[in-house]
Structure 1
Amino acid sequence: MSEPLRYSPEDAASPRVSGEKRPSRIRRWLREPLFHFLFAGALLFGVYQILNPASGQIDRTNQIMLTEDDLRQLAVSWLAQGRPPPSTAEMRQLVDERVSEEILSREAVALGLDKDDEIIKRRLVQKMNFLAQDIAALQVPSDDELAKWYAQNADRFALPPRATFRHLYFALDRAGARERSDAALARIAGKAANTPELAGLADPFMFQDYYAERTPEQVAREFGPPFANALFQLKPGTWQGPIQSGYGWHLVFIDAIEPRRVPTFEEVKSDVKTAWLDQKQSELKRTTFDALRAHYTVVVPPLESVDLRSLRAPQTPVGSMEPAPE
């Protein structure tokens, strides 16, 4: 007969008998709030590093590395000044200057000297604009694309009218300039442009007596806008006037007037490509800036609240005439 199984009250509470399992050390750690905090922090740090990979790249060696291309560039800059090829000693000096420049610029940034500096801001803005230009220049439009764009923007390339004319001048500083011009017109009305009767009728003019294929803008620069407007209202082939300018009175003979016209695509193809690239560059800059600005909140006080009436332009101190970047 087998002996009956014996157990004590302590045995009844034992996990081996009751079927309960003792909690492991790992499970106890998982229940700790401190572990939850550390895990959440590590997770956030990992996500940030993935989204911002450059943030963890800290230069702990303060290393300054010059490549062979850098040395060649130093030599090219040296030669561009009209000098002979640099010697070893001169190259060593150029390297020392480049290293000094790099060290000082890094230390200046570390000290925050680049903050709130208008010249640096302008230079950085300029480089951003150059970047947009470089990206836009990578686009190479096809002839079909340019032709289609030109058809939509042809008026931008319209050629202005042009006038070919000669004139007789009557100076204001001589008495009766208007009366003399009227009398001269009566004598030569209906005559050819080079009739012999023109000799001695008018006063010497300080510039030209004959102008070929001049646009309204060119005529306006020479004689003033009112004269240019009146000139292009005249008909070719006869003496007309008088027309007043800032100099005096003029009788005018129009040889020919070429009206405003829109050129063909082939005539202005190169100009069309340049204008197309300019537009693409402007669109790229505007789109990029709009996307960048969306990340910023701009806070400006009401303009009406700022009293500008008492302000004066600042005086530039003598000896600090540092030019702004172009």
Structure 2
Amino acid sequence: MASQLARPQPTSELSESALDESQTGPKPPTPVRRWLREPLLHFLFAGALIFAIYQLLNPTANRTDRTNQIALTKDDLRQLAVQWLAQGRPLPTADQMHALIEQRVSEEILSREAVALGLDKDDEIIKRRLAQKMDFLAADIATLQDPGEAELRAWYTQNSGRFALPPRASFRHLYFSFDRPGARDRAAGILDKISGKPADTPEVATVADPFMFQDYYAERAPDQIAKEFGPGFAKAVFQLKPGAWQGPIQSGYGWHLVFVDAIEPDRVPLFEEVEPDVKSAWLDQKQSEIKRIAYEAMRARYTVVVPPIESVDFGSLRNPQAPIASTGVLPQ
């Protein structure tokens, strides 16, 4: 009896049990497995991966519009004033401060644009140098242009006044020093003696005082004469008639009797005489135009924020060694 109870169940009973389990189906998946199989999760993961790779390859792509804002603080304006005073100048006027601010903004814009172009790579140089590189780029673009002769001639016709040659005088002089009494009277007395004599008469040179520079000047322009003798002397020389001793004319050294050999009036040279200078001036103008247009386009992308100049206290920055501007000084 006992042996019969210990026997395993018949095969038919096992098959019925398996049949019952197949009808009920497999056990349901866990919540974690269900999420791992979700297509939306796969999409989000792929998107995050793509975004991470993009950010890695484009580290500056997430910049906001705030990077295009140049905000100067009151401390910045005070620093500009300090730099101004460090040069031994009085307090800057309002117009001068505006110019300093514009210069600072210009440097900041050009340096940012230079960095955006990658000009700062492997280059440990200050912002001003970066701004200069941007300036050089515009100059290089201009130098790539090669104007033809017809274009240069047309440009020269419109700008010929820039190449006008000043009048020139060739003259010799006799010098009477301030160090000796009655210099002007001595010059006037000598003029009576040498009047009507040629400029190269040997005895003429012995009647005056030794001069530290030249006795004869050939083809000198007014600014060249003014640089050596003073503007009043230069103006008087060009009012003299050639071919006779005249004077006395005062300079910064003393009194002079002057014999003008010739005066060449001012004139506009022919294009062929100044063609290389015309091309150089044309390139300079093109460079200026390209720089201006490029800078205006770059500046338009920036918002400049500057506190009112009147709200900054510059009083404590006064340089006691420098005079105070009488008009237009910033509020203190």
Q: What TM-score, normalized by structure 1, do the two folds share?
A: 0.60
Q: In the TM superposition, what are the counterparts of 1:27-42 in structure 2 within 5 Å?
A: none
Q: Is 1:194 matched up with 2:200?
A: yes
Amino acid of the structure 2 residue aligned with 1:182? A
Q: Is 1:55 matched up with 2:61?
A: no
State the match for 2:159 in structure 1.
153
State the match for 1:267 in structure 2.
273
CA distance in 1, matches of 2:212, 2:275: 39
Residue 186 of structure 1 deviates from its aligned partner by: 1.0
Amino acid of the structure 1 residue aligned with 2:239? Q
State the match for 1:144 in structure 2.
150
Residue 196 of structure 1 deviates from its aligned partner by: 3.9
Counterpart among 115, 127, 130 of residue 133 in structure 2: 127
Q: In the TM superposition, what are the counterparts of 1:1-40 in structure 2 within 5 Å?
A: none
* Cα gap change, 1:297 to 1:173, in 2 (>3 Å): same
Residue 199 of structure 1 deviates from its aligned partner by: 4.0
Q: Is 1:210 matched up with 2:216?
A: yes
Residue 240 of structure 1 deviates from its aligned partner by: 0.6
CA distance in 1, matches of 2:233, 2:316: 43
C-alpha contact 1:188 1:197 (8 A) present in aligned 2: no
Amino acid of the structure 1 residue aligned with 2:266? R
Q: Is 1:221 matched up with 2:195?
A: no
Q: Is 1:166 matched up with 2:172?
A: yes
CA distance in 2, matches of 1:309, 1:212: 55
Deviations 1:70-124 (A, max 9, x none): xxxxxxxxxxxxxxxxxxxxxxxxxxxxxxxxxxxxxxx9xxxx9xxx9510110
Q: In the TM superposition, what are the counterparts of 1:273-288 in structure 2 within 5 Å?
A: 273-288=279-294
Residue 312 of structure 1 deviates from its aligned partner by: 6.1
SS at match of 2:276: helix
Higher RCO (Cα < 8 Å, 6 or more apart):
2
C-alpha RMSD over aligned residues = 3.3
C-alpha contact 1:160 1:260 (8 A) present in aligned 2: yes
Runs of 4+ in structure 1 deviating by more than 4 angstroms, as ranges, are none
Amino acid of the structure 1 residue aligned with 2:168? R
SS at match of 1:310: helix
State the match for 1:183 in structure 2.
189
CA distance in 1, matches of 2:210, 2:255: 12
Counterpart among 259, 262, 272 of residue 256 in structure 1: 262
C-alpha contact 2:174 2:205 (8 A) present in aligned 1: no
SS at match of 1:194: coil
SS at match of 1:298: strand
CA distance in 1, matches of 2:241, 2:314: 54
SS at match of 1:165: strand
SS at match of 1:275: helix
Could you tell which deviates more after superposition, 292-301 or 189-198? 189-198
State the match for 1:238 in structure 2.
244
CA distance in 2, matches of 1:161, 1:306: 52
CA distance in 2, matches of 1:202, 1:182: 11
Structure 2 residue runs without a partner (length 5+):
1-37, 62-114, 320-332
Residue 305 of structure 1 deviates from its aligned partner by: 2.5
* Cα gap change, 1:231 to 1:309, in 2 (>3 Å): farther
C-alpha contact 1:170 1:249 (8 A) present in aligned 2: yes
CA distance in 2, matches of 1:199, 1:158: 36
Q: What TM-score, normalized by structure 2, do the two folds share?
A: 0.59
SS at match of 1:153: helix
State the match for 2:19 in structure 1.
none
* Cα gap change, 1:57 to 1:303, in 2 (>3 Å): closer
Deviations 1:2-34 (A, max 9, x none): xxxxxxxxxxxxxxxxxxxxxxxxxxx9xx9x9
